[in-house]
Amino acid sequence: MNDLAYPVAATDYPLLNIFWTMLWFFLWVVFLMLIFRIFADVFRDDRLSGWGKAGWTIFVIVLPFLGAFVYLIARGKHMGERDMRAMEKRDEQFRAYVREAAETPERTSAEELTKLAELKNHGDISDAEYERAKTKILA
C-alpha cells in the first residue's frame, strides 16, 4: 500500500513532536530577532568605521551563528550602552517637543486689555467685572 494515498491523522504526529516543532520555531524567531538587532547596532554605532560595519555585516551574513555569537562576545556590553543613549536622546527630544507644544504664548497687557474691552462692548461682562479684571491686569 502507498502511504501517500492515506491522509495524515492528528494521531500520527505525537504531542512531543508538536512541542519540539514549536520550540525550534520559536528559537528560530529569537535568532532572527537577534540578527536584526545586531544589524541595527552595527549601523547605529558612530565609532565603527565603514570597513568595520561592512566586515561585521559580511561575517554575520556568511556565518550567521558564529558571527552573532562573536559579535555578542566582542561588542555585547556596548550594545546596551548605545541603546540607553539612543533611548535617552529620544526621550529628551520628546520632552522638548512636549514642552514646546504646551507653552502658551505670553500676552501683553495691551492685548489683555483689548480682549477685556471687547468682552465689555459685547455685553459678556459687566462694568464692575471689567474694572476688577482691568485692575488685576494692570497690577
The mean pLDDT of 61-89, rounded to a whole number, is 91
Cα separation, 8 vs 36, in Å, equals 37
pTM, to two decimals: 0.57
The mean pLDDT of 72-96, rounded to a whole number, is 91
Give the angle 134-137-138 at the CA atoms, nearest 5°. 85
Does pLDDT of 35 surpass 90? Answer: yes
Cα separation, 80 vs 41, in Å, equals 9
Please report the pLDDT score of residue 25 as a whole number.
Answer: 96
The mean pLDDT of 52-77, rounded to a whole number, is 93
At 41, is the pLDDT very low, low, confident or very high (cuts 50, 70, 90)? Answer: very high
**Residue 60 · residue 71 · CB < 8 Å:** yes
Q: List the domain boundaries for the chain.
A: 3-76, 107-139
The mean pLDDT of 127-136, rounded to a whole number, is 87
